[in-house]
Structure 1
Amino acid sequence: MADKTDQPKAQGFARGLTNYGDFDFSLYLRRSFAASMGYLPESLEKPIVGIAYTGSGFNNCHRHFPELLEAVKRGVLAAGALPVDFPTISLGEVYLNPTSLKFRNLMSMDTEEMIRAQPMDAVVLMGGCDKTVPAQLMGAVSADLPAIQLIGGPMMTSRYLREEGEEKLGACTDCRRFWAQYRAGTVDSTEIREIEGRLATTAGSCAVMGTASTMACIAEALGMALPGTAAIPAVHADRLRAAEASGAAAVRMIANPIRPSEIVTRKSVENALRILLALGGSTNAVIHLTAIAGRAGIEIPLEWFNELSETTPVLVNLKPVGSHYMEDLFAAGGLGAVMRELKPLLNLDCMTVTGETLGERLAAETGPVNRDVISPSSDPIEPKGGLVALFGSLAPGGAILKRSAADPTLLEKEGRAVVFSSLEDLSARIDDPDLDVEEDDILVLQNAGPRSPSGMPEAGYLPIPKKLSSKGVKDMVRISDARMSGTAFGTIVLHVTPEAAVGGPLSLVRTGDRIRLSVEEKRLDLLVPEEELERRRTGQSITERDPMTLRGYDRLYAEQVLQADQGCDFRMLQALDKRTN
């Protein structure tokens, strides 16, 4: 007869029993059903490592996950525990409508609740595509069970032979580069179709420092993934070895628990922010890291972000801000080489999933570094971080600009606004030959934030109007409350907060208004008298959706989603101390 006093100490299949009002019957029933899966009796006594599995036919980034799963299981079994995989939502970036961000919080809830509800002593989180890793980390921080993040890895590049010579191709910076040439008329319809078939030719996430690769690096920098695993290509044998090692590490965390709450701290979040800045990483990572930290009760004020940006150099020469790919970062020394360059700026006492501190990890690492890819801190690519937050009358809650991907000549700019009131308006008019727009103008998109009908898509990378791109114009200042892909580039101001849909100042901009951008002063201002703005507020219609007209998750999203400066998480999912402040 089982001892009821042992229930809190239970492990494996005896953990978290289904409630039938009889503890002994619950255990008896669970064991009998588990036996139907063919487990030996001694297997039922072992601790369990759950494996959050996100393979999906709608997620090309994860098509190698069946093989990766087997490697995780090998590691768990060899270390003496029982691996049990379970499915969760998978978010294939380009397959979701209206945008994958809308479903990140749903996946985080799925992950958290399945970790809580099912009997496991530790969990391996298998993710790779843009929103899967932040969703899994958000859920794991909230559940606070020993967890380790296994990254799926970036895809390898392809080759494309043109008359000018052979080119490397990798999704998705090169996707955008050639699409811009197609729009400008320098690439024809036949060539763009040939390029389309060569941009993404292996399993894995985007080959550049886009959102997926940035979040992989952030997971490692936080200490939630094994050292040296962020940059391994998806199809490399080392990726399978990393999977096996992750399974074994999860088993070790059962006997000596290391919980996400011990790893995701203010100090480790600061480390992750510095890594983001040194990489010139994705603007989306600001939203995701803010949401992850928010689950631990840690705020990321954009003023703090700017303080770190002023003292963190850009060290990594990867597209979209440089010339190399993730496979090159892996060969050049990986994230460990970047962290060793930043060592004087990092909090070295932060705990990691291995049980070592970051300082202990870096002290043990050595090896050659390819300086074409990873610059020394003494000779950085840029002396300040790749991203910067802007404030001002147009963005009182802040906005984000990726200065490392911008045209330096546009970072101090005053110009006339050309306004698009929605994504539909943008699509209808951007290529109209009669559009009143000049190269020195500033393009503005409204109503594309998290509470808008579009749900904050990656639409901030506004196309250059065809009448200008056909004349050779490659960049303009573009401003919106939307996001943009981490693979994109240009002088683009994003995440303007408060967004237009809730009546933020962005909603008051009209074509012909003057806007001033100053990255040096970290300002974004609408140069319109307050009396005129007040007049425009009178009778202004708010475009955020009424939750009472919606149903299901769509209604929950409309009711709960926060602004970009709070990570676009749901208010109810933040740490309790944040929700009560």
Structure 2
Amino acid sequence: MTRKSPDQLRSARWFAPDDFRSFGHRSRAMQMGYDHADWQGKPVIAILNTWSDIGNCHSHFKQRVEEVKRGVLQAGGFPLELPAISLAENFVKPTTMLYRNLLAIEAEELLRSHPVDGAVLMGGCDKTTPGLLMGALSMGIPAIYMPAGPMLRGNWKGKTLGSGSDAFKYWDERRAGNIDQAQWMEIEGGIARSAGTCMVMGTAATMMGITEALGLALPGASSIPAVDANHQRMATHCGRRIVDMVWEDLTPKKILTRKNFENAITVAMAEGCSTNAIIHLVAMSRRAGEDCAVSLDDFDAFSRKVPVIANIRPSGDKYLMEDFYYAGGMRGLMKTLADGGLLHLDAMTVTGQTVGATLEDAAVYNDDVIRPLSNPIYQEGALAVLRGNLAPDGCVIKPSACSPHLLNHTGPALVFDDYPSLKKAIDDPDLDVTADHVIILRNAGPQGGPGMPEWGMVPVPTKLVKQGVRDMMRISDARMSGTSYGACVLHVAPEAYVGGNLALVKTGDLITVDVPNRRIHMDVSDEELARRRAAWTPPPRRFERGYGYMFSQHIQQADTGCDFDYLETGFGGPTAEPAIY
């Protein structure tokens, strides 16, 4: 393998020349206490850290960044921490999805504008993983992803709690009157008890696992609990490895092919992934290049042949990510898939080795947590893509996490145009609703939300909850949390706000959702739909200025990944390196 020489380092453009501009770079670095020995002949490594005081999932990143720096220094590099927007999932409103692309822009421009040769990307909480990776893919320098890792198991009165999934579950019990205020407060204090991301197979765990499957994280890194000492060592290993990647000039473009993305889809299906995986992986693949791009049809095709084998909530019924790690983690799951002929073993990874080479000594230590292919928890993959006159460009459902009797269901629509009116109606004891109804929430997509909030797991109306109903069919152009469960059809494209057919549904229309045949249909004639469309009035714009205005001008629909149109690989030529004068 040909290795770079020091004069070929990108950072040398800033620091090496004997001219006035480089004098300024060096003198200002010395102002901060650095010396020529810190950067001379060494790769400069940017550490993009998404820590903040309100980023609960990344609260350990203050320490982890020091451990990454230690690895960079051990390998002979020069580490520089560059803070990036944190996107704290629970606190950012209306949704972090509104700002995923802002993080992608920030990551790309931080790396392009600074004197850096490689990057460690510190993420984990839902949108930070795709945001960082999208930016790094577009920039193109060597990069490695360091996952935050899941938090420890929750606990309440001897019961194991999973963040998100059990919050939804016990909230319904409280609404039904089965849990009192004191008990609810106990759950509140026991469900999230360490640093790290949700410990169910939500969007965070899904995307960390997908990144490992893509080959952009160290083997085994994605499932280590955030507070385990192995996580600290992994962070340091990331620091060491990125220095070698710079010398090897091992960029994402040299790692990623269509095979890597097919591996990622396979792993997503097998791990019982979040529905959000589709949006993010499609967007990432389109950043990686036309040869890598995947679509909704790819996800559906893989779902037909890849079973769910990770018995992790919410698709599973018992275990959490800590159990998954002890059972062999992502390497164990990928080894099972590899032995079944479901992975491309010749795909490259950040290690400089193939996937096959990294899995040689992998094993499964608990085959109830990571099931063999002969005994899956769900015979098909975690997600299904439906199409029909209600969603011409597709929509998504997670059949592995919904009640079996709803996989083929027809019922009358109960339509809501916005989330506040839906929320108010859900608790109305006189709401005219039955368990057969199909609740529809619209104007909650990329444009309409704005930002496609996680409103798609529409609560079962309190009236029905008190009757013992815990699942019913719900349809929206919104997303839902990866920790959610139930019969929820999501990501309807095109969304209602831009005139998709979801905007034309009326309360009482019969809606059919047929998952086995991948069909979603409203029993309304084409002639009647045409009349309704002629009477439809576009809603007013959400934004008149700022980032929101830019967002609304350029955001794409869910089926193509909700990226900005001008940031995809096929839009114009590559961005030039910055001039240094």
Match of 2:129 in 1: 133
How far 1:544 sits from its partner (Å)?
6.0
Q: Over the residues paired in the alignment, what is the CA RMSD in angstroms?
A: 1.9
Match of 2:118 in 1: 122
User: Which range is displaced more, 269-278 or 295-304?
Assistant: 295-304
Q: How many residues align?
A: 565
Match of 2:346 in 1: 349
2:64 paired with 1:68: yes
Alignment of 1:322-333 (within 5 A): 322=316, 323-333=318-328
Cα deviation digits, residues 426-473 of structure 1 (max 9, x gap): 122122122111111111111100011432100000000011001100
Alignment of 1:559-570 (within 5 A): 559-570=553-564
Alpha-carbon distance in structure 1 between the residues aligned to 2:163 and 2:13:
43
How far 1:138 sits from its partner (Å)?
0.4
2:287 paired with 1:295: yes
Q: Aligned to 2:244, which of 252, 277, 294?
A: 252
Alignment check: 8 A CA contact 1:104 1:135 kept: yes
Alpha-carbon distance in structure 1 between the residues aligned to 2:269 and 2:15:
45
Q: Aligned to 1:243, which of 235, 240, 243?
A: 235
Q: Aligned to 2:263, which of 267, 271, 274?
A: 271
Deviating runs (4+, > 6 A) in structure 1? none
Alignment check: 8 A CA contact 2:333 2:364 kept: no
Q: Which amino acid aligns with 1:571?
A: D
Match of 2:332 in 1: 337
> Is the alpha carbon distance of 1:453 and 1:410 closer, same or farther for their aligned partners in structure 2, counting shifts above 3 Å?
closer
> Is the alpha carbon distance of 1:17 and 1:478 closer, same or farther for their aligned partners in structure 2, counting shifts above 3 Å?
farther
Alpha-carbon distance in structure 2 between the residues aligned to 1:531 and 1:367:
58
Match of 2:36 in 1: 41
Q: Aligned to 2:223, which of 231, 243, 259?
A: 231
How far 1:265 sits from its partner (Å)?
2.0
What is the DSSP-based 3-state SS (H/G/I as helix, E as strand, rest coil) of the residue aligned with 2:396?
strand
Q: Which runs of 5+ in 2 are unaligned?
A: 575-581
Match of 2:403 in 1: 407
> Is the alpha carbon distance of 1:8 and 1:426 closer, same or farther for their aligned partners in structure 2, counting shifts above 3 Å?
farther
Q: Aligned to 2:198, which of 173, 196, 206?
A: 206
What is the DSSP-based 3-state SS (H/G/I as helix, E as strand, rest coil) of the residue aligned with 1:262?
helix
2:27 paired with 1:32: yes
How far 1:578 sits from its partner (Å)?
8.9
Q: Which runs of 5+ in 1 are unaligned?
A: 1-5
Alignment of 1:186-201 (within 5 A): 186-201=178-193
Match of 1:437 in 2: 433
Q: Which amino acid aligns with 2:132?
A: Q
The percent of aligned pairs where both chains have the same amino acid is: 46
How far 1:11 sits from its partner (Å)?
2.7
Match of 2:175 in 1: 183
Alignment check: 8 A CA contact 1:318 1:325 kept: yes
Alpha-carbon distance in structure 1 between the residues aligned to 2:570 and 2:540:
26
Q: Which amino acid aligns with 2:394?
A: G
What is the DSSP-based 3-state SS (H/G/I as helix, E as strand, rest coil) of the residue aligned with 2:36?
coil
Match of 1:555 in 2: 549
2:307 paired with 1:309: no
Alpha-carbon distance in structure 1 between the residues aligned to 2:450 and 2:77:
45
Alignment of 1:446-461 (within 5 A): 446-461=442-457
Cα deviation digits, residues 493-528 of structure 1 (max 9, x gap): 000000000110101111100011111110000111
User: Which range is displaced more, 201-210 or 23-32?
Assistant: 23-32
User: Which range is displaced more, 174-183 or 402-411?
Assistant: 174-183
Alpha-carbon distance in structure 2 between the residues aligned to 1:568 and 1:12:
32
Q: Which amino acid aligns with 2:368?
A: D
Task: Tell me the TM-score normalised to structure 1 length.
Answer: 0.94
Cα deviation digits, residues 158-211 of structure 1 (max 9, x gap): 3211xxxx1012312111111111122211222112211111110001011000
2:567 paired with 1:573: yes
How far 1:567 sits from its partner (Å)?
0.6
Alpha-carbon distance in structure 2 between the residues aligned to 1:8 and 1:569:
36
User: Which range is displaced more, 133-142 or 373-382?
Assistant: 373-382
What is the DSSP-based 3-state SS (H/G/I as helix, E as strand, rest coil) of the residue aligned with 2:282?
helix
How far 1:576 sits from its partner (Å)?
2.3
> Is the alpha carbon distance of 1:368 and 1:506 closer, same or farther for their aligned partners in structure 2, counting shifts above 3 Å?
closer
> Is the alpha carbon distance of 1:174 and 1:347 closer, same or farther for their aligned partners in structure 2, counting shifts above 3 Å?
same
Match of 2:468 in 1: 472
Alpha-carbon distance in structure 1 between the residues aligned to 2:539 and 2:259:
39
Alignment of 1:473-492 (within 5 A): 473-492=469-488
What is the DSSP-based 3-state SS (H/G/I as helix, E as strand, rest coil) of the residue aligned with 1:95?
coil
Match of 2:12 in 1: 14
> Is the alpha carbon distance of 1:301 and 1:41 closer, same or farther for their aligned partners in structure 2, counting shifts above 3 Å?
closer
Alpha-carbon distance in structure 2 between the residues aligned to 1:79 and 1:7:
15
Q: Aligned to 2:381, which of 381, 385, 395?
A: 385
Task: Tell me the TM-score normalised to structure 2 length.
Answer: 0.94
Q: Aligned to 1:170, which of 162, 173, 177?
A: 162
Alpha-carbon distance in structure 2 between the residues aligned to 1:140 and 1:353:
14
Alignment of 1:132-171 (within 5 A): 132-161=128-157, 166-171=158-163
Alpha-carbon distance in structure 1 between the residues aligned to 2:572 and 2:334:
30
